[in-house]
Amino acid sequence: MLLASASEAFNKRELVKVRAQEGAPKPIREIANDIATGLSGVHVIQTIGHIAILYRPHPEHPQIHLSESNQG
C-alpha cells in the first residue's frame, strides 16, 4: 500500500515528502530507506523529525539534477 502510494506520487512529481505518524513502528529514516529500496531510482534526500524528502527523476524530462555527493 505504501509503495503503491509513493509510486503514484512520483508519477506526478520528482520530490515527495513522507510523514511518519508519531509512534510509528519504525523511525522515518528506515521508512524512507524501505521506500527507496522498494522503488527503482528513488533517493532519500533528507529526514527531519518525522518527515523524509525523497527524489526520483522524471524518466523523460527531469527538472531537478542531483550532484553525486547528494545521492545515497
For residue 13, what is the domain's CATH number? 3.30.110.60
At residue 71, does pLDDT exceed 60? Answer: no
Owning domain of residue 65? 2-70
How sure is the predictor about 68, in pLDDT bands with cuts at 50, 70 and 90?
low
The number of beta carbons lying within 10 Å of the beta carbon of residue 34 is 14
Three-state secondary structure of 8-40: HHHHHCCEEEEECCCCCCCCHHHHHHHHHHHCC
> pLDDT of 6-43, one tens digit each?
888 888 889 999 999 988 999 999 999 999 999 999 99
Q: How much is the pLDDT for 65?
A: 73
In total, how many domains does the chain have? Answer: 1
Q: How much is the pLDDT for 9?
A: 86
